[in-house]
């Protein structure tokens, strides 16, 4: 209640990107203090139930942080202490890039949504790899369950895109519990064209080659898709996942099906289509492939509906902004207590 009051009366009047930057800085600082252990044992407590068999290591809950929040792996331990079972950092590109011009992030409070046209702003694979190396050098960092979301630099052509994914995988896979090929952001020109199955075959093979070169183990590989794909294209991606032996899919990214201006929309308006896409994928993929459901999850009921649609794991971002730091622990505890 305190956070909602603070958000509705104070934070709503701040610049959204600046608020995000300050918030992630505070979460990063928090994760380096003794307060993180206290939070993890109280408000961040996930319910004492683990979920084996989804990835190589058991997860302490079903709900994680979606990519886009912690772009540069600077707040992993703080995020997990707040109750996230895992976190997906990125999107990371081979070279640093500033992203699109500002303004590029807008709140839509009446929709409980966010619109962004960030453009993969990040510090680059070398910086993120070093940060992850430092993380994995500690006991707490080795215990952290971390996915790494990768993409291509803005200036790289579609014909050369696979090489960018291979570079990122080579540099980052050794530190990742899973990798996500992001071909679905609407904010990098031409990126969504890479969702066609011909391009995906090449990108998947290149990413796997890069990961195998340095990881020394099997690193699960997932593809993140847009909600704006037609049903037949979703099914074509599912067929590619099966034929290439991809481990799973993240569904979905932001949508461009809105009238608010440039960029992708996230939050509550995305929920109906995200559920449809997850149902399609589960029917097409069967029980063996991992599906991470993303889009419009802001309550226990939303989370249960996404799992019922076929998701193994869930990710949130926009709801975390609107509902505050106690939401991930609340969701994970509720799902554990209901046995979902």
Share of the chain above pLDDT 90, in %: 93
Residue 171 has a pLDDT of 98
Q: In a 10 Å sphere around its CB, with 0-12 CB exposed, 13-18 middle and 19+ buried, how is residue 164 labelled?
A: buried
pLDDT in tens, 106-138: 999 999 999 999 999 999 999 999 999 999 999
pLDDT in tens, 254-264: 999 999 999 99
Q: How confident is the model at residue 315 (pLDDT cuts 50, 70, 90)?
A: very high
Place of tokens 């093979």: 205
Q: Report whether 46 contacts 287 (CB < 8 A).
A: no
Domain ranges, residue 98: 2-338
pLDDT in tens, 198-241: 999 999 999 999 999 999 999 999 999 999 999 999 999 999 99
Q: How confident is the model at residue 2 (pLDDT cuts 50, 70, 90)?
A: confident
Q: How many domains does the chain have?
A: 1
Tokens of 91: 């999107």
Q: Find the catalytic residue in 74, 79, 184, 185.
A: 185
Q: Report whether 260 contacts 303 (CB < 8 A).
A: no
* pTM listed for this prediction: 0.97
Q: How far is residue 325's CA from residue 228's CA, in Å, rounded to a whole number?
A: 30
Whether 185 is catalytic: yes
CATH number of the domain residue 165 falls in:
3.20.20.70
């Amino acid at each position: 209640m305190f956070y909602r009051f603070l958000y509705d009366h104070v934070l709503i009047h701040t610049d959204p990107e600046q608020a995000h930057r300050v918030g992630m800085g505070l979460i990063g600082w928090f994760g380096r203090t003794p307060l993180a252990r206290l939070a993890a044992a109280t408000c961040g407590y996930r319910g004492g139930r683990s979920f084996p068999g989804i990835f190589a290591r058991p997860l302490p809950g079903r709900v994680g942080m979606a990519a886009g929040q912690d772009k540069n792996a600077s707040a992993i331990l703080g995020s997990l202490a707040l109750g996230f079972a895992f976190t997906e950092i990125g999107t990371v590109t081979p070279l640093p890039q500033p992203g699109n011009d500002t303004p590029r992030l807008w709140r839509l409070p009446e929709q409980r949504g966010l619109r962004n046209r960030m453009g993969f702003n990040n510090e680059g694979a070398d910086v993120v790899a070093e940060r992850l190396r430092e993380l994995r050098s500690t006991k707490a960092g080795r215990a952290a369950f971390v996915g790494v979301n990768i993409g291509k630099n803005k200036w790289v052509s579609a014909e050369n895109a696979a090489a960018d994914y291979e570079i990122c995988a080579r540099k980052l896979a050794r530190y990742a519990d899973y990798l996500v090929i992001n071909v679905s952001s609407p904010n990098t020109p031409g990126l969504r064209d890479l969702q066609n199955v011909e391009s995906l075959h090449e990108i998947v093979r290149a990413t796997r080659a890069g990961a195998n070169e340095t990881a020394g183990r099997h690193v699960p590989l997932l593809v993140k898709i847009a909600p704006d794909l037609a049903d037949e294209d979703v099914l074509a991606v599912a067929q590619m996942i099966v034929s290439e032996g991809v481990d799973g899919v993240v569904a979905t990214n932001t949508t461009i099906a809105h009238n608010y201006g440039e960029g992708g929309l996230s939050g509550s308006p995305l929920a109906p289509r995200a559920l449809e896409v997850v149902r399609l994928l589960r029917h097409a993929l069967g029980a063996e492939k991992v599906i991470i459901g993303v889009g419009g999850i802001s309550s226990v009921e939303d989370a249960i509906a996404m799992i019922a649609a076929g998701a193994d794991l869930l990710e949130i971002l926009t709801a975390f902004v609107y509902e505050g730091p106690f939401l991930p622990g609340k969701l994970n505890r509720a799902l554990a207590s209901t046995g979902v």
